[in-house]
A and B are shown apart, each in its own frame.
Chain A
Amino acid sequence: MEPVIKTDNLTIRFGGQIAVDHVSCEIPEKHFKSIIGPNGAGKTTFFNLLSGELKPTEGEVYLKGERITHLSSIERARKGLGRSFQITNVFPNLTVLENVRLAIQSREKIYFQMLRYFTSYKHLIEEAEHILEQVLLIDKKDAIASQLTHGEKRKLEIAMLLALDSEILLLDEPTAGMSLEEVPIILDVIRNIKEKGEKTILLIEHKMDLILDLSDSIMVLFNGQLLADGTPEEIMRNELVESAYLGGMYNDDLAGNQ
């Protein structure tokens, strides 16, 4: 079957620094792939290349067989590539509901309607409320986004991504900076999305133990290079990964989980 996303020798250099170094990978449809790697391994840069925020120095990105390397992030978003940001990136002075509603409006392709009140699109508002229920934010719908806690902002971020209803979700460390109590909730939200089986998901995560049971496959980036790509079991047995990335501390964590 044709992979949904394929990268071919994807490379980007910032001056002398090679942030992503000839990464080739394929992601089949409805697949859940996690990307792990230490700080500075190029995970987020790799995401930026996929979503179009950055243009590669070398190599290509394909979406369902179509070359999309030259497309802007906007065009890619419209083609079904939705991404969340590691640094929380919402509309700070709008209400939670309005944040989500804007995403739905984009998906519904209501771009240039300027002669009707937005409230006449009731179904958009209803759907936004429905999505907020899914991510357990519904009682905060009238709050201003900047007043949310960090965890709530992350949830909002995921809600906006869900609202776009993109085929492919790029999740950049959705649990980053969250309190321990909030992490399971986010993971539940992600698990729910996965279990519906409608989306291809790419997830960046720092803490490997969180995503072992969620992922269909895991790829490991190290110094910009693709170190390994395989099922969670394979990755855990991979000695190269162990020595390069996991180290003693992480090994203990994993041992506890097995």
Chain B
Amino acid sequence: MGKINLKSVYFWLIVLVFVLFPFVIDSRPMTILLTQIFIFAILAMSYDILLGYTGIVSFGHAMFFGFGAYATSVMLKNIDSSLTVFFLSIIVGMVIAGIVSFLIGLLTLRLQSHFFAMFTLAVSGLFLVLAEKWRSLTQGNDGFTFRAPEIFSDRINFYLFVLFCLVLVFLLLRLFVNSPFGKVLIAVKENETRTKALGYKTIYYKVVSSVVAGVAASLAGSLYVVSLRFVNTSMMAIDVTLNALLMTIIGGVGTLVGPIVGAAIIELAKHNLSILAKTYPIFERWIIFFGIIYILAVIFFPKGVVGTLKEKWEGRKMVRQQAMKQKEDAA
């Protein structure tokens, strides 16, 4: 038990560092960058629930991000830019994401994985077209700006709120994947037929997993548009899904810390590459570099940064235990 406590001590220490961060280092760009990282960490974690825990490949995750994004921006613009409306819009986005992911899941999760992947791609494409065409509401690709709630005009307040959301989502998802339910999700990923033979109705597990992932992604979308105070259809584009995929894979599939680390790596890389681009124009094509990173990661770090470190750590622990045993045997 002592070890678990130590772990949570580290966890809260890290949280504390980030809470204090903007008060110690008074840098607006850093605060904004960290806010972005936290938001994408939520998105990447939600994607990992599908990819890393349930073994479902979805190419439509951007649409859930988009539901949150549009729910929040439309409501803040058309109703009122108060905090109440903001919270309400988060819930609206989550409900829409929940219903859509539930329906899609129920319809298609019976199919084999690649059909599900194709179907999610098609549905998210459909919603993207809807967002393009429903100009009276979304103003299409041009998008629109809106006012964020008054209290968030101080970047530090928003930073703290997003951090709070990240910690909350992290704790909830950690509980979710470590619950008996979450253990079955991992079993589904490992061997679905066997899970069925044990008497689990795997389809329900997959549907719930996709609903949880969709709802969390919607929260990320709501937060993201408030950080930009702007929304357009790019929030729903396939790039968002690919970003989440990249962050999850680089950070470490099948862990919750992995996607957070992945989000940090990708966002920091983007930030620094765009600075470099001012002197070396080649870096404007940063997507090329991401492509290379992605290929290298899949070849050399298939388990991602966190996954690889974890494996090394556990391997060393094993060796140590074996050495201890040998010593005991010798004695």
Q: Please say whether chains A and B are actual partners in one complex.
A: yes
A residues near B (Cβ < 8 Å) are 51, 73-74, 77-78, 83, 85, 89-94, 98, 101-103, 105-107, 110-119, 121, 160, 164
Number of interface residues of B (CB under 8 A): 24
Collect the chain A residues with CB atoms within 8 Å of residue B196's CB.
Answer: 73-74, 77
Question: Is the pair B180, A91 in contact by a Cβ cutoff of 8 Å?
Answer: no
* Nearest chain B residue, comparing its CB with the CB of A98: B183
29 example contacts (A-B, Cβ-Cβ < 8 A) are as follows: A74-B199, A74-B200, A74-B201, A77-B196, A77-B197, A83-B197, A89-B193, A89-B194, A90-B191, A91-B187, A91-B194, A92-B191, A94-B186, A102-B187, A102-B195, A105-B183, A105-B184, A111-B180, A111-B201, A113-B180, A114-B175, A114-B181, A114-B182, A114-B208, A115-B175, A117-B175, A117-B179, A118-B179, A119-B178
Q: Which residues of A contact B197 (CB under 8 A)?
A: 51, 73-74, 77, 83, 85, 89
Question: Known contacts A77-B196, A116-B180, A164-B199; can you find 19 more A-B pairs with CB under 8 A?
Answer: A73-B196, A74-B196, A74-B200, A90-B191, A91-B194, A98-B183, A102-B195, A106-B198, A111-B184, A111-B201, A112-B181, A112-B204, A113-B180, A114-B182, A116-B175, A118-B178, A118-B179, A160-B198, A164-B198
In Å, the complex CA distance between A160 and B190 comes to 15
Bound together, the chains give a CA A51 to CA B208 distance in angstroms of 27
How far is A247 from B301 in the complex, measured between Cα atoms in Å?
56
Q: A90-B191, A91-B190, A93-B190 are in contact. Are A118 and B198 (CB under 8 A)?
A: no
B176 in contact (CB, < 8 A): yes
Residues of B within 8 A of A114 (CB): 175-176, 179-182, 208
| Residue in chain B with minimal CB distance to A104 | B198
Contact across chains for B190 and A94 when beta carbons are under 8 A apart: yes
Chain A residue contacts of B186, Cβ below 8 A: 94
A102 touches B179 (CB 8 A): no
Given contacts A106-B200, A164-B198, contact A91 B191 (CB under 8 A): yes
A102 touches B184 (CB 8 A): yes
Q: In whole angstroms, how far apart are the Cα atoms of A83 and B199 in the complex?
A: 11
Residues of B187-227 at the interface with A, using a CB-CB cut-off of 8 Å, are: 187, 190-191, 193-201, 204, 208
Q: A89-B191, A93-B190 in contact; A113/B181 too (CB < 8 A)? A: yes
Q: In this complex, what residue of B is CB-closest to A91? A: B190
Residues of A within 8 A of B193 (CB): 89
Contacts of B198 in A (CB 8 A): 77, 102-103, 106, 160, 164
How many angstroms between the C-alpha atoms of A69 and B200 in the bound complex?
19
Please give, as numbers and ranges, the residues of chain A lying within 8 Å of B199 by CB-CB distance: 74, 77-78, 106-107, 164
Residue of chain A at shortest CB distance from B254: A93
Closest 10 CB pairs of A and B: A114-B181, A77-B199, A91-B190, A114-B179, A106-B199, A106-B198, A110-B180, A113-B180, A78-B199, A118-B180
